[in-house]
Amino acid sequence: MLIVNFVKHLHSFDLIVDFQAKSEVLGILGPSGCGKSMTLKCIAGIEKPDSGYIELDGVVLFDSVKNINLSPQDRHMGYLFQHYALFPTMTVEQNLLAGIRPENTENKMSEVRQIITTMKLVGLENKKPDQLSGGQKQRVALGRILLNKPKILMLDEPLSALDQYLKWQVQLELVELFERWQKTVLLVSHNREEIFQLCDTVSVLTKGVNEAKQTVEELFNAPQSLSAGVLAGCRNFSKIEIIDLSQGLFKAHDWGVTLHSSKLTPGSRYCGAYSHNFEVTNKISGNSAVAENLIPVSCLYRFGKGVTESLVCSTPGGSNGHSVLYLELRPVEGGITDKDEPFQVSIPPQDLIFFNS
């Protein structure tokens, strides 16, 4: 069990982190500069929080009240830096040997050979870092960490230095590693796809403050804030005004329409919708646009002509008399012209997301 609760005063904001993690892969998702890497550094002991408490498996690592601050070496944590921090003049085997703690040297060569096999590094033992691919460097760095016998793994943007082809390979390798590990993993990323594919749970970090932990499915279906919604991939938002809570009716000001949803709550201030949840329709059952959650739009830009098309469309709402919707649609029979062809899209009530802030 990892318990983290601390405050770190940074130049432009205060980093306020509060979460607990068990045997799970917990993602810390946030934009660049929000304090993700600093969070890991404070947990690892590389940086010192200004106040707070950090505990791992019953051992207090940091306690500002009791003046406890264990060194990084005494915290037994495996920290994978963004650029792997391999020794450039050492071979793969030498880099791996450097990961073994002084008190664990009795069977060090057999342990290194086992890691070389486990991490698929056979044949690379005498290569130096500049002779390795990005994926190979990462496997060496992870192997070195595992040889140190850590109690927890912390990965800082583990896929950011890889091209798209290598990312898929390394993602599969990380999934295999996490399945074998069966302990706490903290994974920092600004990429929601990496979080969705690699993590069990996630805590969104924005403006230096982390939100409550939730499953990755919950983040996608019910993000806790507007900022979390953006990070989860929601691109369409509107400020709302509740008309009739009992009927779920509200005015979406930025889209210029009245909609309905049973998910509307008294504190709702904004609504959101994912691009792929809209459908093109020109039919109104019972002559009720509200019943169908219809939004009249005109296409401004259109991208792609494959299985789905990406469209940027104007709406009647917004402070300037119009706003835009970002849509991912299946091609409609007859097509939609790039401009000047008004049509209607509908958003199912259950696919709307509401935010209090």
Residue 224 shares a structural domain with residue 252: no
Residue 301 shares a structural domain with residue 227: no
How far does Cα 217 stand from its chain's mean position? 12
Residue 68 shares a structural domain with residue 183: yes
Report the percentage of the chain scoring pLDDT > 70.
91
Choose between 287 and 186: higher pLDDT. 186
- Determine the Cα–Cα distance for residues 2 and 120; give it in Å rounded to an integer: 30
Residue where a domain stops, chosen among 232, 255, 285: 232
Residue where a domain stops, chosen among 179, 213, 232: 232
Residue 204 shares a structural domain with residue 292: no
Residue 187 shares a structural domain with residue 241: no
pTM of the model: 0.87
At 20-76, the pLDDT tens digits run 999 999 999 999 899 999 999 999 999 999 999 999 999 999 999 999 999 999 999
- Determine the Cα–Cα distance for residues 217 and 232; give it in Å rounded to an integer: 10
Burial of 195 (0-12, 13-18, 19+ CB in 10 A): buried
Q: What is the pLDDT of residue 334?
A: 47
Q: What is the pLDDT of residue 128?
A: 95
Residue 70 shares a structural domain with residue 199: yes
Residue 254 shares a structural domain with residue 160: no
Choose between 78 and 340: higher pLDDT. 78
Report the percentage of the chain scoring pLDDT > 90.
67
Residue 179 shares a structural domain with residue 39: yes
With 80 as the cut, is the pLDDT of residue 338 above it? no
Residue 105 shares a structural domain with residue 245: no
CA distances from 306 to 328, 331, 342 (A): 11, 8, 22
Residues spanned by the domain of 252: 236-355
Q: What share of the chain is helix, strand, coil (3-state, %, to 5)?
A: 30, 30, 40
Pairing mode of beta strands 25-29, 201-206: parallel
Q: At what angle do helices 164-181 and 134-147 cross, to 10 degrees?
A: 20
Q: What is the pLDDT of residue 109?
A: 86
Our count of domains for the chain comes to: 2
Residue 92 shares a structural domain with residue 140: yes
With 50 as the cut, is the pLDDT of residue 94 above it? yes
Residue 47 shares a structural domain with residue 171: yes
Cβ–Cβ under 8 Å, residues 282 and 321: no
Residue where a domain stops, chosen among 177, 212, 232: 232
Please state which of the ranges 275-279, 293-297, 340-344 shows the lowest mean pLDDT: 340-344
Nearest CA to 43 out of 132, 121, 154, 137 is that of: 154
Please state which of the ranges 50-54, 151-155, 171-175, 287-291 shows the lowest mean pLDDT: 287-291
Model confidence band, residue 276 (pLDDT cutoffs 50, 70, 90)? very high
Q: Which CATH number is 171's domain given?
A: 3.40.50.300
Residue 257 shares a structural domain with residue 168: no
For residues 110-115, average pLDDT: 90
Task: Read off the tokens for 317.
Answer: 């709402």
